Amino acid sequence: MLWFTEQHKDSGLIIKTKSYKEYHSEYQRIEVINTRRYGKILILDGLIQTSEKDEFIYHEMLAHVPLITHPNPKDILIIGGGDGGIVREACKHQNLNITLVEIDKQVVEVALKEFPSISSALKNDNVKIIYEDGSLFIKNKKAIYDIIIVDSSDPISHSKSLFSSKFFIDAKLALKKDGILAFQCESPFLHLNFIKKTKKTLSELFKIVKYYLAVIPTYPGSLWSFALASNTFEPKMNSKKLKRIQSLKTKYFNEEIYQACFALPNFIREKL
């Protein structure tokens, strides 16, 4: 019997595995396991990126919170996210031009082949895919995007540059004046100092910097944080947003979650 194990700091997750495939790209090892508990799971360099069973939580929360916070989003840049989950969620909103910048073409190819339910929107007419390092792509872009969503793996290896001050400055310049930056920001149980550091950097660049939470059982620590930064738009509910949220077909996100996700437990609030 095969067990996949992902271990962090003296603890980990084990998942019984029915089948296993391995690919090697220029950037990383790509593994796909099939499990009864979580369906198919995409693993990059040994770390779970997404599972068929719980991917909706991460993708809905990273996509819809910034998309709803902006009253009229049009031009969207997604950095990373080669599995297509963020693109799929973004495509639930009307009239978006979506640019996906993924460093690793093979991630997109594996997603199209192995994860059709996640990658389903990657071939939509309003989606343009560019294969490039996101931190290089974004340089010298001026006031182009309403929203930039960074759907990266952990801040190590080729994803490290997506959490640097330099990247946040480039992202701010690439955003229109009222644009919104959102990114996954690791687990408050394991990486609270890292989250704090990103908040400090963002707060020097944006007037409104908020962190929000969701639970993702296959991620280390399970509690996951996301950052939202803007100079203009607060993530507050109003009747227009309510109508937009209710028109979305979602399994996790709803109008209550849109507000509740910003409530931070004391141990996080006090640190930030």
Which residues contact a copy of itself (rule: CB under 8 A)?
5, 7, 9-16, 35-38, 54, 57, 189, 215, 217, 221-223, 250-254, 256-257, 259-267, 269
Residue whose token pair is 């594996």: 110
CA torsion, points 102, 105, 110, 111, in degrees to nearest 10? 30
Query: Nearest CA to 260 among 65, 55, 63, 57?
Result: 65
247: CB partners within 8 A, 6+ apart: none
Would you call 146 a catalytic residue per the annotation? no
173 or 264: whose CB is closer to a copy of itself? Answer: 264
Point out the catalytic residue in the list 54, 104, 146, 151: 151
Alpha-carbon distance of 112 to 121, in angstroms, equals 10
Alpha-carbon distance of 189 to 187, in angstroms, equals 5
CA atoms within 13 A on the CB side of 220: 17
Q: Supply 7's token pair.
A: 């271990």
185 or 257: whose CB is closer to a copy of itself? Answer: 257
Counts for the chain of helices (H) and strands (E), in that order: 10, 13
116 or 265: whose CB is closer to a copy of itself? Answer: 265
Min. distance of Cβ 101 from a copy of itself in angstroms?
A: 29
234 or 256: whose CB is closer to a copy of itself? Answer: 256
Helix (H) or strand (E) holding 43: strand 39-44
Min. distance of Cβ 199 from a copy of itself in angstroms?
A: 17
Phi/psi for 186 (5° steps) reads: 70, 180
E strands of 132-258, at which residues?
A: 145-151, 175-184, 208-215, 223-230
Min. distance of Cβ 26 from a copy of itself in angstroms?
A: 32
166 or 267: whose CB is closer to a copy of itself? Answer: 267
Which residues are the active-site residues?
151
